[in-house]
Amino acid sequence: MNKNFTRFAFTDSVRAVQEEYGSRKAYAKAETNGDRYRLTSREIQFIENSDGFYLSTVGENGWPYIQFRGGPKGFLKVLDNETLAMADFSGNRQYISTGNIKSMGKAMLFFMDYAKQSRLKVWTEAEVIDVDANPELLETVSLFGYKARIERIIRYRIQAYDWNCQQHITPRYTIPEIKQMITNESNSQFIN
């Protein structure tokens, strides 16, 4: 079975719009470009260096929901090249993403690196795991020294992924990135 991202993204209505706007021929070729569901070192490094991502789910009423998930770099663990997992901490207690995952079993992860103008989309089958159900996985996803209570584990089984084009991404920088740029600039003045 083709596990290319186009299997999920290119519905009949999307193909019709591609035809209408003249991109269908190029994207028809993308549908045959092979499987993209096993992460390569490029995707693994990108995910491991991320301090956040956007999580999209859909409820049984058909309405989408998007939430930002953040933490220290590496809080989303790469278990292998087809599986990601994270500790899910206590928050505002609405449980919208959790309920949607429990009912629909699917989630989209959208990673942004504004400084490098890169973005990665990952289609997943998601599951909510009780913290007592898998002590080994709990230890793997725990963030030692992070002061928040783990309520559950969320595991994501990758079904497909795709890199987005860089066009129209406005560069933004974190405070540590700005400090590093200032340090590099200061050091380069002494070298010259």
Task: Give the start-to-end residue ranges of the domains of the chain.
Answer: 1-35, 37-176
Taking only the tens place, the pLDDT of each residue in 101-150 is: 999 999 999 999 999 999 999 999 999 999 999 999 999 999 988 888 89
- What number is the average pLDDT over the span 152-158? 97
Least confident of 39-43, 85-89, 147-151: 147-151
Q: State the pLDDT at residue 152.
A: 96
Q: What whole-number distance in Å separates Cα of residue 95 and Cα of residue 63?
A: 15
pTM: 0.88
Tell me, rounded to whole angstroms, the distance of Cα 138 from its chain centroid: 20
Is the pLDDT assigned to residue 166 strictly greater than 90? no
**Four-way CATH pick for 37-176: 2.30.110.10, 3.30.479.30, 1.20.1260.10, 3.30.565.10:** 2.30.110.10
Strand 77-80, strand 64-70: pairing: unpaired
Q: State the pLDDT at residue 148.
A: 84
Least confident of 44-58, 92-106, 164-178: 164-178
